Structure 1
Amino acid sequence: MKLKRNFNSSGQSGQQQNKAQAEPEPLYASLDENIRKIKMDLGNSTDIIIREIRSGKDKRTKVAVLYTDGLADKQVITDFFMDSLMQDSQIEPIEQISENDNRMESLKGMALQIGDNKEITDFSSLYNSILSGDTVILLDGCLQGISASTQGWKSRGISEPVAQSVVRGPQEGFTETLRTNTAMIRRKIKDQNLWLETKQIGSVTKTDVAIMYIKGIVNDKIVEEVHKRLDKINIDGILEGGYIEELIQDEPYSPFPTINNTERPDVAAAELLEGRIAILVDGTPFVLIVPTLFISFFQTAEDYYLRADISTLLRIIRFICLFIAMVGPAIYIAITTFHQELLPTQLLISLAAQREGVPFPAFIEALIMEVTFEILREAGLRMPRPIGQAVSIVGTLVIGQAAVEAGIVSASMVIVVSITAISSFVITGYSMAISIRMIRFIIMGLAASFGIFGIVVALIALVLHLCSLRSFGIPYMSPFAPLVLSDLKDTIFRLPHWAMSSRPRLINQKNVIREQMSPPTKPKT
């Protein structure tokens, strides 16, 4: 498979690169020197808690416990660290061993009773642990420290997805916590081949980014390409998955998204079972899915929870709405401007009567209404939810009615723009809907200049552009172009589950068989 890449990650200054490649500074043997340096490097921040205690026999062993207030669980620190360190009987054996022995290992085995812990030997790892919510223990005279997982910050609970709600199906969505999101996927796929790899991206934010895929189903070349593109990212901060999407996408100058996203664990699990890869970013409830296809933006989770005939009907409606949202106003402009003979006489007379007092051509009329509706849509999104809904509904009704009465636009144009706007909401992928809205204005301009001929040329150019796109080496328009007949069972038409026995062949090439099931038979009476 040919995998291509069209972006070069932005270079950093030589000073930043040298800093990133510099060797980490090791810890000091003196506890006082370590604490002094930590306070200096962290600006003596008040949320960095440093508890110095004396433990062991006769309280002669100096120990420091470091954590970040608000990120670490204080109850866990008190139960598993402070109580253990303050008990002489558990620390006493440390003073009985020689200096050449690893006293930190003895402390790790005797004093700590928490599961996830590791050794740290340098300040870079120490800072990363503290600022990630872990607790670090430093022992005077030791060149190592212990980092234990005590993360306990407040997080949003699991709730219903906002952008991808369904009538039938699971009513749970991802949260902003990475570990919660990975657990929700593992709860749906209980297989040892579900692999998870985590890396940190961002020289300042050090954001955790997880890559999940099913070994044996996924294409190993695509996994390598994902790692390659992520490793090329050289940026100071990653605050949301959109950063990652923009930096690793195949076509940065195409209006069409080549990376899909979802906030539903069931959708992510279904994509993994087809051989795709999920990229989870800490701090966002949206999971990136690669590779993605054009058809993926018109499929919903509910399509697989309803019967096949109902799902097929709903998908056909979505594609009809796609056509209306893209060329609806353009067709109206072209017919009323150049091709009036295509209309019945009565309809033509009615449209002419409506446009009698309108001072603008059809294109300007449509442009005014489209821009007005986009302003109302954006205002409704940015304002508080109760007020935003009122502004969108009342504003659209009042402005539309007033524009018609003032003679600025015709009533038929208000109808066309309204149907177009409603059709754009039917498109399930939000990023795809925005792309269609952008292209609509270009097609409107061509229709105003060349009529139906301009629309046809625009659609041909659009199809050629879509066929040239790739998502991590996979043709964007597959299985239509190239045509793969066996994969058409889950595109515009959704066949029953027993008929979808194979995975998409262009995405998965080594474990194609998904199920071996025969059609259901009627019971004998």
Structure 2
Amino acid sequence: MPFIRKLQRRKVSGGRTASKPPENRQGHTDSPGSALGEDLSTRLDWLKQELKDSSDLIYREFTISSGQRCALIYVRGMIAQDTAQQFIVRSLQRESAQLQDKDIYQFLFEDEALSVSQTTVINDLNQAVEAVLNAGALLLIDGDQRMLTFSISAYPTRGIDEAPNESVIRGSREAFIEDLEKNLTMLRRRLKTKHFKTPAINKGRDTRSAIVIAYLEDVCKPELLKEMKRRLSYIDMDGVLGSAYVEEIIEDNPYTPFPQIQYTERPDVVSAALLEGRIAILVDGSPIALVAPVTLPMLLQSAEDYYQRYIAANWIRWIRYFFVMASLTLPSIYIAVTTFHPEMIPAQLLITIAASREIVPFPALWEAFAMELAFEALREASIRIPKSIGQAVSIIGALIIGTAAVQAGIVSAAMVIIVSLTGIASFIIPHFDLGLAFRLLRFPIMILASMFGLYGLTCGMILIYIHLVNLRSFGVPYLSPIAPLVTEDLGDTFLRAPWWKMHKRPVQLTNNQVRQTVDPRAWIKEKGDLE
């Protein structure tokens, strides 16, 4: 086959690199390339000293037909070694016979002797080290200070599969993986517009993890983008191994149990958020993307809401809201009513509850605490143990513990029912961190209910509401569009309006509010071919 292909990306400026040399840990710039000169052996010795005790580094030395010595350095397992051997080493050895008096780099680029795309020319050995550690192949040529790096990475990655924690019936089955390039490809396939921007920065002194800021330029507010970049610029740590590292650093209030940034593993959810003017953060090596700003109603929405017909979606959404409140207040209501307000319970039901509690030696608060803690332990155990037995352990454990506790007279049957309903209600919350926040707040509210009855429960709910009203996510009120009230955005809060009525984007997120320019159901007014 001919070895003449167009180089897809050349980062060359007059034969010299135009990129800025990297900074070391102390913030100074090292440039040993010019100091070490053009001798291949000297530079190889320096690289071997810098990267010593690395058994996975390969130093492949060879000679081309012009008589010049070359060396190819890469990390075993991180590049396509067959590509490096066939399209770099053998191509150079074969095509260099035509070199004659030409400059080697003029020969490589202008005559297109190599058939490897994404090639970069660098001068600095610090950049060379970084390129090798970033899954690149480094080519050194004796007698020339310039070096070539090739982007031919081929490290193993997990295949694209269905989202395990955000499953839907009618929606997409794709989920993010640990490969940043493939994640960006899934987004690019959905957002085929020139306004989709993905600038990247590297953070972590040792990991040099790539962090991509994804947004739509014509939709996202410039001040929101500027604020996001400002917060990310303050990240200075030894390693960024996942998006959770970034989330804790850039969120507005780190001392609240409520999440102020949404995380998701679904590219369709991220695409929908970008179309509303939000910003997504993707970290190399993490299958979880971050979306900001976020509001509480947004965290109570599921991807399934937008794939089902809007009537069914609204019914499910109202069920979700009801059980969200139940997961927070149901044990507290039971404690308050049975302890302070028994007159609120019908007589027949009160007799049944009193009979079940007759042999229980503990007050209702201790009953609830014991059962809730046991339920939390079972939930955590079912997550940590192997999946093949996790579900069986959680179900059997709950049945055995609940039945044994009732028969032993430790807790009442009514309390087991209340705790079970509360646990089921907490599973309905789409966002795991939000469900965890409600699970944590459930305990102090139970204490207030045991001390002051329904008055304590009411005071606890008011305090939570005041806290939520004061929360912000990148300047956006956490309870928006409910508090403050934004009537234009209520079409996707308590109810989801049908798609043909969603003409505008959220007011507080974007200056470009036009989502649809014409009425999608205007065809009703015209006579069709079937009439």
Distance 2:126 2:328 in 1: 52
2:233 corresponds to which of 206, 231, 234: 231
1:293 corresponds to which of 292, 295, 298: 295
Structure 2: which amino acid aligns with 1:56?
S
Structure 1: which amino acid aligns with 2:494?
I
Structure 2: which amino acid aligns with 1:134?
G
Distance 1:283 1:131 in 2: 15
The reply on whether 1:33 has 2:42 as its aligned counterpart is yes
Distance 2:107 2:26 in 1: 33
1:174 corresponds to which of 168, 173, 176: 176
Q: Deviations over 1:66-87 (max 9, x none)?
A: 1110111112112210111211
Aligned to 2:428: 426
Q: 1:517: how far off?
A: 3.5
Structure 2: which amino acid aligns with 1:91?
S
SS in 1 for 2:25: helix
Given that 1:104 and 1:139 are in contact with CA atoms closer than 8 Å, whether structure 2 keeps it comes out as: no
Aligned to 2:86: 79
Q: 1:522: how far off?
A: 7.5
SS in 2 for 1:280: strand
Distance 2:204 2:139 in 1: 26
Given that 1:104 and 1:146 are in contact with CA atoms closer than 8 Å, whether structure 2 keeps it comes out as: no
Equivalent pairs counted in the alignment come to 500
User: Where do 1:189-208 residues align within 5 Å?
Assistant: 189-208=191-210
Q: 1:104: how far off?
A: 3.3
Aligned to 1:112: 114
Q: Deviations over 1:14-39 (max 9, x none)?
A: xxx97341112232321111111111
SS in 2 for 1:270: helix
SS in 1 for 2:161: coil
Aligned to 1:3: none
SS in 1 for 2:176: coil
- RMSD (Å) for aligned C-alpha atoms: 1.5
Structure 2: which amino acid aligns with 1:48?
L
The reply on whether 1:394 has 2:396 as its aligned counterpart is yes
SS in 2 for 1:514: coil
The reply on whether 1:52 has 2:79 as its aligned counterpart is no
Q: 1:94: how far off?
A: 4.5
Given that 2:25 and 2:205 are in contact with CA atoms closer than 8 Å, whether structure 1 keeps it comes out as: no
Given that 2:203 and 2:209 are in contact with CA atoms closer than 8 Å, whether structure 1 keeps it comes out as: yes
TM-score (norm 1): 0.93
User: Where do 1:101-180 residues align within 5 Å?
Assistant: 103-109=104-110, 110-180=112-182
Distance 1:20 1:176 in 2: 30
Structure 2: which amino acid aligns with 1:432?
L
Distance 1:310 1:276 in 2: 27
Aligned to 1:11: none
Q: 1:96: how far off?
A: 1.4
2:384 corresponds to which of 382, 389, 396: 382
Distance 2:234 2:462 in 1: 35
Distance 1:38 1:149 in 2: 19
Structure 1: which amino acid aligns with 2:89?
M
Aligned to 1:24: 30
Aligned to 1:6: none
Q: 1:40: how far off?
A: 1.1
Q: Deviations over 1:361-387 (max 9, x none)?
A: 000000000000000000000000011
TM-score (norm 2): 0.92
Distance 1:403 1:95 in 2: 90
Aligned to 2:221: 219
Distance 2:204 2:107 in 1: 35
The reply on whether 1:267 has 2:269 as its aligned counterpart is yes
SS in 1 for 2:280: strand
Q: 1:112: how far off?
A: 2.3
Q: Compare 221-230 and 514-523 and name the one that shifted more.
A: 514-523
Given that 2:328 and 2:438 are in contact with CA atoms closer than 8 Å, whether structure 1 keeps it comes out as: yes
Structure 2 runs not aligned, ≥5 long: 1-22
Distance 1:104 1:63 in 2: 13
SS in 1 for 2:202: strand
Structure 1: which amino acid aligns with 2:416?
V
SS in 1 for 2:199: strand
Q: Deviations over 1:107-128 (max 9, x none)?
A: 3444322121111222221122
Given that 1:295 and 1:477 are in contact with CA atoms closer than 8 Å, whether structure 2 keeps it comes out as: yes
Distance 1:363 1:19 in 2: 54
Structure 2: which amino acid aligns with 1:50?
Y
Given that 1:56 and 1:95 are in contact with CA atoms closer than 8 Å, whether structure 2 keeps it comes out as: no
Distance 1:291 1:222 in 2: 9
Distance 2:329 2:210 in 1: 42
SS in 2 for 1:86: helix
Aligned to 2:517: 516
Given that 1:25 and 1:124 are in contact with CA atoms closer than 8 Å, whether structure 2 keeps it comes out as: yes
2:342 corresponds to which of 322, 337, 340: 340
Distance 2:109 2:73 in 1: 16
Given that 1:91 and 1:107 are in contact with CA atoms closer than 8 Å, whether structure 2 keeps it comes out as: no
Q: Deviations over 1:137-174 (max 9, x none)?
A: 01112222111101101111110000000011111111
Could you say if the C-alpha distance between residues 46 and 306 of structure 1 is closer, same or farther in structure 2, counting changes exceeding 3 Å?
same
Distance 1:449 1:95 in 2: 93
Q: 1:56: how far off?
A: 3.0
1:459 corresponds to which of 444, 461, 471: 461
Distance 1:392 1:522 in 2: 57
Given that 1:404 and 1:410 are in contact with CA atoms closer than 8 Å, whether structure 2 keeps it comes out as: yes
Percent sequence identity over aligned pairs: 41
User: Where do 1:291-330 residues align within 5 Å?
Assistant: 291-330=293-332
Given that 1:94 and 1:107 are in contact with CA atoms closer than 8 Å, whether structure 2 keeps it comes out as: no
Aligned to 2:494: 492
Could you say if the C-alpha distance between residues 336 and 522 of structure 1 is closer, same or farther in structure 2, counting changes exceeding 3 Å?
farther
SS in 2 for 1:19: coil
The reply on whether 1:371 has 2:373 as its aligned counterpart is yes
Q: Deviations over 1:315-338 (max 9, x none)?
A: 111110110000110000000110
Distance 1:95 1:126 in 2: 28
Q: 1:518: how far off?
A: 2.3
Q: Compare 363-372 and 383-392 and name the one that shifted more.
A: 383-392
Could you say if the C-alpha distance between residues 169 and 19 of structure 1 is closer, same or farther in structure 2, counting changes exceeding 3 Å?
closer
Distance 2:107 2:135 in 1: 24
Q: 1:274: how far off?
A: 0.5
